[in-house]
A and B are shown apart, each in its own frame.
Chain A
Amino acid sequence: MTDARYTRTAISLHWLIALLIFAGWGLGYYMNDLPASPAKLKYFNWHKWIGVTVFILAVLRSAWLVSHPWPPWPSGVPAWQMRAARLSHFLLYLLMLVIPVSGWLMSSARGFQTVYLGLVPLPDLLPKNKVFGDLLEEVHRVLAYGLAGLVAIHIAAVFKHQFVDRDNLLARMIPFLSSRSPEPRP
């Protein structure tokens, strides 16, 4: 076991982004097949604002990571697991950046500009074009499912560390857990 923790900034960004990804993903899944209504327009706009926010926070998180690397690994983690962890985190970061961009491009191609928080219009990078719109919607959807899969793996790994390895790795991301040590191994 180790007292090593993520920095307060990294922890805040992690949980904020996690919350927004769950909200944005759920909203995106729910809103798509709704019939036309004022509520649907609101959901689409909120979804886009969430996406832009995730993108900004993911950029900050990436920049922070460069200057504040991960805390050291707990002892006894096999090399393949380290490689798997590095790869899955790299993909998580990548998707946090690419998925909002794909949504932004899709909005441009659909002719519905993204206006962040209803205040800041983002430039339309593509002209209105149905073929691009349909293609980008598919890309956005597939990437979103990919992200869901990665998040599932991410959470499964947490459970594995917490209840199988019992190395209390979660405390690195949830500081108040570190005062409570896990049950000793039988």
Chain B
Amino acid sequence: MLGRRVPAWLSGSVLMALGLAALAAIGSVDAGKSRISATFRQMNVPVEGEFRTFRGTVQFDPKNPAAGSARIEIDTGSFDIGAEEYNDEVKRKEWFDTAAHPHALFVSSSVAPAGPNRFTATGELTLKGKTRELRVPFTVRDEGSSRIYEGEVPLSRKAHAIGSADWDDVLEDRVVVKFRVVTATK
């Protein structure tokens, strides 16, 4: 048994699988260290809610930004304003409609440099079934074995049919999504 050689095809597959797993681990988002929030204004009062559940992968090398890619999926039902009543409210049909659209998805199509340590990821955001182009500015830095991507991007509620018209006089259309996405570098 001991002397028997492992078939080449098997060892090759195992190595490849391990390699892929390692690659996936390097790029996958560490949700525990990451934070994605949305800040909106009601009667000029800034209110911030956090998306508690999301996942994704970011492959990015600052030396070769064009080869970078990101895919982030957010559970819309995990939006936490800090008040149970409003957390329940935003799950409803006129808001996120989490029953029909449980996820929001951003997939990048290109990344370009935008200044010293600044980059812009262009891609598509699908939110409540509406897909729109989104340009996401971000910065990158390494901290220990973590790579940290940070940035913020304004969105329009109405562009994604979030919130009915009767809320418009107390709630601004503009919502700023802030993110701190952390991946492992090794």
Contacts and interface: CB of A to CB of B under 8 A. Distances in A.
Interface of A: 35-36, 38, 41-42, 45, 110-115, 118-119, 121, 128, 130, 133
Contact of A128 (B82, B89, B171): B82
A41 B48 contact: no
Given A112-B45, A115-B43, A36 B170 contact: no
A119 B45 CA distance: 9
A110 B86 CA distance: 12
Interface residues on B, range: 10 to 19
B167 interface: yes
A128 B50 CA distance: 12
Contacts of A130: 82
A45 B167 contact: no
Contacts of A114: 45
Contact of A45 (B43, B48, B171): B43
B86 A36 contact: yes
A130 B46 CA distance: 18
Contact of A118 (B44, B81, B86, B88): B44
B143 interface: no
Given A38-B169, A38-B170, A42-B170, A111 B47 contact: yes
A115 B89 CA distance: 23
B82 A41 contact: no
A115 B44 contact: yes
Contacts of A110: 82-83
Interface in B162-183: 166-167, 169-171
Contacts of A112: 45, 47, 83
A123 to B, nearest CB: 13
A118 B85 contact: no
B28 to A, nearest CB: 29
Contacts of A118: 43-45
Residue in B46, B88, B171 with the greatest tally of chain A CB atoms within 10 Å: B46
A113 B45 contact: yes
Nearest to B83: A110
Interface in B131-186: 166-167, 169-171
Contact of B89 (A36, A42, A133): A36
A112 B49 CA distance: 11
Given A38-B169, A121-B44, 9 more contacts: A35-B85, A36-B88, A38-B170, A38-B171, A110-B83, A111-B81, A113-B47, A118-B43, A118-B44
